């Protein structure tokens, strides 16, 4: 097994043994109204990301590919995605771009789900032709480009040169025929990052914030001595990142991920302006601990509960959810106030 294949398996194993993080979704309180004035059949949470149309506002976010175990997981995730009619992303495709023997561990998702919405995934360090090859490999409907600087720094074999990331992203955004989603991997985004992305023409961003899977923690666990564990709290939480994204939401589609545990977390993301919510570890845990059928049931339950919550909020669609009043805890309110003062 190569170092890269070993790393893929380490990530899955450590994600499955990941401790729960405190969730700052609990710091957002939706205001209850006693007379919702709609009925369940009025509700549709249909949504759009760039030119793509999602029947349901949730998706399975990027995880894996590039080892035997990863290929088996992608196979099972693709069944779940097909049966529940929600989009799915594969994990970083660098492994297959460098070693064609690993291509089937990604392509399996297209074989299983020929008509589903799938996202390719690459890092911001790769040359332009990799982007097109990644899209072609799985006939992707969109391309995710991940940003993971803190992970690289803590990863024993990680990169240290981020100088070309923005220009690489710009080149892909200019030439790609499919929508490009710039995504974090659990460290969140700030308004400064989103302003940089907007300036180069990015139209969709997954702010993937802190509060769920933590890749500084995971890389520290893989590192001899775990000596950078003081960085384990790095980054902005998902609710903070959504607040940071508000000035950009009229010109960029914002996706929310990072620690989405329940349908209520997803609904709170939509109230804060996200157009869809992504789940990684919540799905991986169910899949590996219980199996494909229980994971399909979990997602079906998740979708039904999204509708239940929209119903009690009196919100018949994603636009109405954005109008739902909410109150922030002192910590979130303080963040908002301090950032507005600058
Ligand atoms: C990830 N994530 C990820 N993201 C990415 O863009 N490319 C990748 O290759 C991976 N690999 C990966 C492996 C595993 C095992 C997990 C659990 C996650 C990050 C993922 O897409 C997401 O941004 C974070 O995991 C936060 O979401 P959750 O896990 O808190 O729902």
- Residue closest via CA to ligand 1's atom 12 equals 63
| Dihedral sign (CA 51, 113, 124, 103) | negative
Probe ligand 1: pick from 13, 22, 63, max atoms within 8 Å of CB?
Answer: 63
Secondary structure element (H or E) that encloses residue 326, with its range: strand 326-328
pLDDT at position 225 is 81
- Residue closest via CA to ligand 1's atom 11 equals 63
Binding-site sequence positions for Mg(2+): 152
pLDDT at position 301 is 98
pLDDT at position 106 is 98
pLDDT at position 23 is 92
3-state DSSP percent of the chain in helix, strand and coil, to 5? 50, 15, 35
Task: Using alpha carbons, list the distances in angstroms from residue 243 to 28, 194, 238, 249, 330.
Answer: 11, 12, 9, 10, 14
Would you place residue 227 in the very low, low, confident or very high pLDDT band (cuts 50, 70, 90)?
A: confident
Whole-angstrom Cα Rg for the chain: 19
Report which DSSP code applies to 35.
Answer: -
pTM of the model: 0.98
In the predicted structure, residue 277 carries a pLDDT above the cut 70? yes
Whether 60 lines ligand 1, by a CB cut-off of 6 Å, is no
Would you place residue 1 in the very low, low, confident or very high pLDDT band (cuts 50, 70, 90)?
A: confident
Classify 158 as helix, strand or coil.
coil
Binding-site sequence positions: 7-8, 62-64, 92-94, 121, 151-152, 183, 208, 213, 259-261, 280-281
| Dihedral sign (CA 277, 53, 189, 316) | negative
Secondary structure element (H or E) that encloses residue 340, with its range: helix 330-341
Point out the ligand 1 atom lying closest to the alpha carbon of residue 184.
Answer: 23
> Which residues are bridge partners to 253 per DSSP?
204
- Residue closest via CA to ligand 1's atom 1 equals 63
In the predicted structure, residue 226 carries a pLDDT above the cut 90? no
pLDDT at position 296 is 98
For residues 179-195, give the mean pLDDT.
98
Whole-number Å distance, alpha carbon 46 to ligand 1 midpoint, is 24
Whole-number Å distance, alpha carbon 185 to ligand 1 midpoint, is 6
- pLDDT tens for 194-218 read 999 999 999 999 999 999 999 999 9
Complex ipTM tops 0.90:
yes
Whole-number Å distance, alpha carbon 7 to ligand 1 midpoint, is 13
Whether 282 lines ligand 1, by a CB cut-off of 6 Å, is yes
Secondary structure element (H or E) that encloses residue 96, with its range: helix 94-98
Would you place residue 342 in the very low, low, confident or very high pLDDT band (cuts 50, 70, 90)?
A: low
Task: Using alpha carbons, list the distances in angstroms from residue 134 to 75, 103, 131, 184, 204.
Answer: 18, 10, 5, 18, 18
- pLDDT tens for 88-127 read 999 999 999 999 999 999 999 999 999 999 999 999 999 9
pLDDT above 70 coverage of the chain, percent = 100
- Residue closest via CA to ligand 1's atom 13 equals 63
Would you place residue 21 in the very low, low, confident or very high pLDDT band (cuts 50, 70, 90)?
A: confident
Point out the ligand 1 atom lying closest to the alpha carbon of residue 62.
Answer: 21
Whether 66 lines ligand 1, by a CB cut-off of 6 Å, is no
pLDDT at position 224 is 80
Report which DSSP code applies to 237.
Answer: B
Task: Give the Cα separation of 60 and 306 in Å (integer).
Answer: 16
Query: How does the average pLDDT of the chain come out, rounded?
Result: 97
Whole-number Å distance, alpha carbon 281 to ligand 1 midpoint, is 7
In the predicted structure, residue 178 carries a pLDDT above the cut 80? yes
- Residue closest via CA to ligand 1's atom 8 equals 91
For residues 291-314, give the mean pLDDT.
98
Whether 63 lines ligand 1, by a CB cut-off of 6 Å, is yes
Task: Using alpha carbons, list the distances in angstroms from residue 258 to 21, 66, 235, 263.
Answer: 11, 23, 11, 13
Whether 15 lines ligand 1, by a CB cut-off of 6 Å, is yes
């Amino acid at each position: 097994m190569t170092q890269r294949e070993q790393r893929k398996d380490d990530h899955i194993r450590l994600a499955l043994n990941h401790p729960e993080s405190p969730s700052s979704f609990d710091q957002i309180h939706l205001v209850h109204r006693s007379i919702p004035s709609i009925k369940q059949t009025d509700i549709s949470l249909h949504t759009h990301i760039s030119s793509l149309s999602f029947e349901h506002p949730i998706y399975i976010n990027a995880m894996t590919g590039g080892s035997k175990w990863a290929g088996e997981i992608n196979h099972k995730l693709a069944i779940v995605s097909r049966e529940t009619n929600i989009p799915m992303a594969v994990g970083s495709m660098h492994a297959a771009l460098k070693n064609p023997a690993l291509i089937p561990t990604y392509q399996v998702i297209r074989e299983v789900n020929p008509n589903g919405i799938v996202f390719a995934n690459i890092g911001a360090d790769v040359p332009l032709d990799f982007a097109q090859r990644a899209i072609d490999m799985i006939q992707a409907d969109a391309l995710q480009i991940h940003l993971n600087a803190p992970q690289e720094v803590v990863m024993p074999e990680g990169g240290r040169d981020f100088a070309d990331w923005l220009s690489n992203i710009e080149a892909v955004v200019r030439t790609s025929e499919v929508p490009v989603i710039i995504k974090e991997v659990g460290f969140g985004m700030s308004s400064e990052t989103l302003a940089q992305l907007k300036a180069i023409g990015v139209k969709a961003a997954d702010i993937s914030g802190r509060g769920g899977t933590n890749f500084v923690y995971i890389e520290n666990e893989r590192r001899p001595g775990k000596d950078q564990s003081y960085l384990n709290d790095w980054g902005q939480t998902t609710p903070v990142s959504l607040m940071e994204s508000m000035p950009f939401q009229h010109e960029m589609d914002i996706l929310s991920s990072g620690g989405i545990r329940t349908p209520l977390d997803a609904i709170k993301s939509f109230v804060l302006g996200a157009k869809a919510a992504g789940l990684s570890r919540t799905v991986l845990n169910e899949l590996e601990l219980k199996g494909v059928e229980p994971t399909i049931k979990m997602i079906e339950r998740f979708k039904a509960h999204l509708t239940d919550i929209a119903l009690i909020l009196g919100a018949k669609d994603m636009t109405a959810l954005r109008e739902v009043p909410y109150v922030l805890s002192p910590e979130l309110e303080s963040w908002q106030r301090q950032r507005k003062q600058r």
